[in-house]
Amino acid sequence: MSAFGRDSRIVLTLDAGGTSFRFSATRGGKSITETVTLPSHGDNLQRCLGNLLQGFNLIKKQCPKPPVAISFAFPGPADYPAGIIGDLPNLPAFRGGVAMGPMLEEKFGIPVFINNDGELFVYGEAIAGFLPYVNGLLEKAGSPKRYRNLFGVTLGTGFGGGITRNGELYAGDNSNASQIWLSRHKLSPQMNAEEGACIRAVRRVYAEKAGISFDQAPDPRVIEEIALGKTSGNRDAAIEAYRRMGEVAGDAIGNALTLLDGLAVIGGGLSKGWRLFLPALVAELNSQYTGPNGNKFRRLPEAAFNLEDPAQLKTFLKGETRAIAVPGTKRKIKYDPLQRIGVGISRLGTSEAIAIGAYAFALRSLDQKKEKK
């Protein structure tokens, strides 16, 4: 996990959910304490902030030496660099701007870094997960191709995203980069993409195709098992629910990749059903536009590959590498003209990727601040 995997510094971290806060401490990219779980009390600001302080205090007492920072993901909208949390839909007590970061810095006397969970997920995968995994496979295959940019999404309760470029997290000027959930829904253009690429979307399509009410639709993990023939239910409806999610997510991801040009990684609870939606997602990336005179052209200039498919992975790694002559010399250099991107599933797991991302972001920020002095 690069230099961060050998770093002895300790960072306090938090997994912030709508109903509970889970606290821990990380060193060398791994948890070194027992997890402390406290209710979030999202409807009572005083109790919520009180539990934040209590949780970090309890974790700090477990640490073998003082932590150097606090770093974690927290829902937005927010001014993340300033540590200010805005009006949160799922935590109604946060209204008018809550200076959470400055409060924690005041209480603990160490720097505090807060980011979006989608961003930290992708950052973790860029440092220790999907990006080095793919580059390692390319190196082993003898390919000159290497990737430096990574776009990622999380499919779960919502549809989140994140971008890393040349090893740096890209957050935007308003802490609003990678708001992929607000892309347009390909199949229902009056809605946003999240309504076609999340848990409720899978349940909604299953209910519609099975002829039952939304309340009767099972959990997506059950729908996944129905689609795979492992349990009883409407299999055609289950298959279509996941296929449609892949098409909608693929359209949104395709729009993002036209601007980024890099690998794409998928995490979140629904990613476990990748066999059911990833083919449709990649097919959407490889789809075509039709011009006014009927001409066809690719929606992405690069060919997209499903890196979970062994055959596609083999083609992706091989490329079209050949030796070409340098004009006017006797030299030859390697050239791979196959422009390509790959899409695959998290190599770390979403929670671990977020934790590693939070840890690495804190240490890199501290090191950069030190270099500027």
The secondary element (H helix, E strand) that includes residue 324 is strand 322-325
183-192, 206-215, 278-287, 359-368: least confidently modelled range: 359-368
Query: For 73, which DSSP code?
Result: E
Q: What is the pLDDT of residue 1?
A: 52
Q: What is the mean pLDDT of residues 222-238?
A: 97
Q: Check residues 1 and 257 and name the one with the higher pLDDT.
A: 257
Residues of the chain with pLDDT > 90: what percent? 81
Q: Is 272 exposed, middle or buried (0-12, 13-18, 19+ CB in 10 A)?
A: middle
Helix, strand or coil for residue 355? helix
Q: Which residues contact 310 (CB under 8 A, 6 or more apart)?
A: none
Dihedral over Cα of 79, 261, 123, 367: its sign = negative
> Is the pLDDT score of 18 beyond 80?
no
User: Which ranges in the chain belong to alpha helices (H)?
Assistant: 45-62, 100-108, 117-128, 130-140, 199-210, 220-227, 235-260, 274-285, 310-318, 350-372
Task: Return d(Cα 62, Cα 222) in angstroms, integer.
Answer: 39
Q: How confident is the model at residue 76 (pLDDT cuts 50, 70, 90)?
A: confident
Q: What is the pLDDT of residue 2?
A: 64
Q: What is the pLDDT of residue 230?
A: 96
Give the chain's mean pLDDT.
93
Q: What is the pLDDT of residue 11?
A: 96
Task: Return d(Cα 358, Cα 114) in angstroms, integer.
Answer: 8
Q: What is the pLDDT of residue 6?
A: 84
Task: Return d(Cα 245, Cα 363) in angstroms, integer.
Answer: 37
Q: Could you tell me the domains of the chain? A: 2-115 (3.30.420.40), 130-197+245-347 (3.30.420.40)
Q: Are 9 and 110 in contact (CB under 8 A)?
A: no
Q: How confident is the model at residue 205 (pLDDT cuts 50, 70, 90)?
A: very high
Task: Return d(Cα 86, Cα 83) in angstroms, integer.
Answer: 10
CB atoms within 10 A of CB 199: 20
Q: Which residues contact 138 (CB under 8 A, 6 or more apart)?
A: 145, 146, 147, 317
Query: For 269, which DSSP code?
Result: G
Residues of the chain with pLDDT > 70: what percent? 99
Q: Which of 367, 205, 25, 126 is nearest to 220 (CA)?
A: 205
Q: Is 25 exposed, middle or buried (0-12, 13-18, 19+ CB in 10 A)?
A: buried
> Is the pLDDT score of 90 beyond 80?
no
List, for residues 291-329, the tens digit of each pLDDT value.
999 999 999 999 999 999 999 999 999 999 889 999 999
> Is the pLDDT score of 263 beyond 80?
yes
- The pairing of beta strand 303-306 with beta strand 84-85: unpaired
> Is the pLDDT score of 334 beyond 90?
no
**Is the link from the previous residue into 77 a cis peptide, with omega within 30 of 0?**
yes
List, for residues 105-129, the tens digit of each pLDDT value.
999 999 999 999 999 999 999 999 9
The predicted model scores a pTM of: 0.91
